[in-house]
A and B are shown apart, each in its own frame.
Chain A
Amino acid sequence: MKGTGFLLILSSALLLSGRYVRIQKKQTDTIFSFASMLEQMCAELEINMTPMPELLNRLAKSTTGTARDFLISLTNSLSELGGTAFRQLWLRALFIHSQSMDKDCLRELTELGDFLGRYSLQAQCDAIRSCSARLRLLEDRRRKRQVSDRRLLTGLALSGAALLGIMLL
């Protein structure tokens, strides 16, 4: 009985730490997908001056993960332009998918929305480039932290479970 209890504590501690690590990884992947999408967006704008609806369509095709879902939501809401400003549509689409986003990433993308749609090509590209650079930095930092976090959490879970186990036994 005590052995089963010990095993249950151990497995739930490992599951919890695993879940935390998975959430962290998903958030990092989201940052990666947005940074890649923004890099493509900037290239497409600079080379082709593609209008926004067409640009979002193309990007959704070549993007994966949360960024793709975000682009689809945004594209679907473009028919509301005129009554609603583009930055509000951008913001709304972001918040639909904000659950899988890190708050720093969300803040960066929210700020970017203010620069898209109304400004010159150069101004938009500059804003996109700087946002994607910041996201890359954020992604790098998180990936490095993720490795140490995984070790730390696994260690904590194991030692916590061991401590409880000793107390039980």
Chain B
Amino acid sequence: MQALLLSAFRPVFTGRGKDISALFSYAAPDMHRLSMGSERMDAIKIVRELLPAELLEIPDEFPKMEELRLRVGRKPGIVMQGREIETTRRRIDQETLMQILEKATGASMHAAAATLQNGFVSYRGIRIGVCGEVACVGEEIIGMRCVGSLAIRIPHACTEEVRAVIESLFQPDVVSTLIVGAPGAGKTSLLREMIRCASSRALIVSVIDERNELSASFGGRAQYDLGPCCDVMIGARKEKASMMLLRGMNPQIIAMDEISQKEDLRVIEQVAGCGVILFATAHGEGRDEMIKRPLYRRLLQAGYFHQMLTIRCLDGKRVYEREYLHA
């Protein structure tokens, strides 16, 4: 069945009507907060919730899995240490993908149309990349006609090692930090832990969470523990959200995921210009590689960030490199 997911996105809050959630099992879903310590196990549990019964029989690979890739007509693929391995399960059909998307959106593709245009949907902090045949009007993508593959990403575990890295990053003081790494290196998980640590130090942190991946908010409540002093703006683009946060929430720190386009540079300039500390992530292999790309060259030369943390995967282990960008 073809799904045409249109573009219009409007807020869904109305405030009308009494809460009768007690009557229904779905209206009051398990709203447990995902603790950072058991984050990975929780994430695996959430992924298991998403999958149909026949795909749940991947017991051995699950704990080590970084991504689960499902493509129509192919067997499920598991990404571990940056490489995809095909499993021996049955081939995936489109109905299975649609059922996973139905679960992820609560049978509400219309409500997820805005993120679907950007190629993903979020389900309780799990990002599901969606690929297929897009529907266009002129040059504008208005939706997805037919879903061909899904990439379900599983957040990385936040280990003691990561916490020690963050503690060292916050010495002698909390400063603007850019986290750099290849896709799947664990940038978002580290950023999330940085937010929590800063927030726990009584610093007011505002989070621009375009994909609801940092907070995994559900019903206005962040399911990942982001600390006591954290405000999250979900779903809005960085340029809009930053202005709203600067005007309304008076943050000391603004955190955002994935700087990838020139509009993001303007946002960073704006935030830094207001004297607010920035935490952000970017795809890259390190300073030498990033400086070759015009966008990141401008970013690094502008001096908005005081330090850069590069995450590398060497021999299956993560290596963290801290680098001061400006004295």
Which residues of A (45-81) have their CB < 8 Å from a CB of B?
45, 47-58, 60-62, 72, 75-76, 78-79, 81
Give the nearest-CB partner of B23 in chain A.
A72
B95 engages A85 (CB within 8 Å):
yes
User: A58–B10 Cα gap in the complex (Å)?
Assistant: 18
Give the nearest-CB partner of B135 in chain A.
A120
Q: A48-B14, A49-B10 are in contact. Are A120 and B4 (CB under 8 A)?
A: yes
A120 engages B111 (CB within 8 Å):
no
User: A123–B10 Cα gap in the complex (Å)?
Assistant: 17
Query: Nearest Cβ distance between residue B94 and chain A, in whole angstroms?
Result: 11
Query: Nearest Cβ distance between residue A59 and chain B, in whole angstroms?
Result: 10
Is B53's CB within 8 Å of the partner chain A? yes
Is A122's CB within 8 Å of the partner chain B? yes
Is A3's CB within 8 Å of the partner chain B? no
B24 engages A48 (CB within 8 Å):
no
A76 engages B24 (CB within 8 Å):
yes
Is B50's CB within 8 Å of the partner chain A? yes
Q: A48-B10, A51-B111 are in contact. Are A75 and B25 (CB under 8 A)?
A: yes
User: A49–B154 Cα gap in the complex (Å)?
Assistant: 29
Q: A57-B21, A81-B107 are in contact. Are A118 and B98 (CB under 8 A)?
A: yes
Is B108's CB within 8 Å of the partner chain A? yes
Give which listed residue, A50, A72, A117, contacts B14 with CB less than 8 A: A50
Chain A residues contacting B101 (CB-CB under 8 Å) are 118
B109 engages A120 (CB within 8 Å):
yes
User: A82–B238 Cα gap in the complex (Å)?
Assistant: 32
Query: Nearest Cβ distance between residue A67 and chain B, in whole angstroms?
Result: 15
User: A138–B119 Cα gap in the complex (Å)?
Assistant: 42
Is A121's CB within 8 Å of the partner chain B? yes
Query: Nearest Cβ distance between residue B57 and chain A, in whole angstroms?
Result: 14
B109 engages A119 (CB within 8 Å):
yes
A61 engages B18 (CB within 8 Å):
yes
A52 engages B9 (CB within 8 Å):
no
User: A4–B58 Cα gap in the complex (Å)?
Assistant: 76
Interface centre among A47, A49, A114, A118 (most CB of B within 10 A): A118
Which residues of B (51-95) have their CB < 8 Å from a CB of A?
51-53, 95
* Per-position 1/0 for B1-31, Cβ under 8 A of A: 1011110111111101110110111110100
Query: Nearest Cβ distance between residue A47 and chain B, in whole angstroms?
Result: 8
User: A86–B100 Cα gap in the complex (Å)?
Assistant: 11
Query: Nearest Cβ distance between residue B219 and chain A, in whole angstroms?
Result: 9
Is A27's CB within 8 Å of the partner chain B? no
Is B184's CB within 8 Å of the partner chain A? no
A119 engages B3 (CB within 8 Å):
yes
Which residues of B (184-208) have their CB < 8 Å from a CB of A?
none
User: A7–B111 Cα gap in the complex (Å)?
Assistant: 63
Give which listed residue, B12, B51, B99, B102, contacts A50 with CB less than 8 A: B12
Q: A49-B110, A49-B111, A118-B102 are in contact. Are A54 and B27 (CB under 8 A)?
A: yes
Is B133's CB within 8 Å of the partner chain A? no
A83 engages B110 (CB within 8 Å):
no
Is B49's CB within 8 Å of the partner chain A? yes
Q: A49-B10, A57-B20, A85-B95 are in contact. Are A120 and B27 (CB under 8 A)?
A: no
* Per-position 1/0 for A115-131, Cβ under 8 A of B: 01111111110000000
A-B contact pairs, 6 of them (CB 8 A): A49-B10, A52-B108, A85-B98, A85-B99, A118-B109, A119-B4
Query: Which residues of B does A touch, CB under 8 Å?
Result: 1, 3-6, 8-14, 16-18, 20-21, 23-27, 29, 49-53, 95, 98-103, 105-111, 113, 143
A-B complex: 8 closest residue pairs judged by Cβ atoms: A82-B103, A117-B107, A120-B6, A51-B108, A78-B26, A121-B110, A86-B107, A51-B111
Given A86-B107, A120-B109, A122-B6; 4 other pairs, CB 8 A cutoff: A51-B105, A82-B52, A118-B3, A121-B110
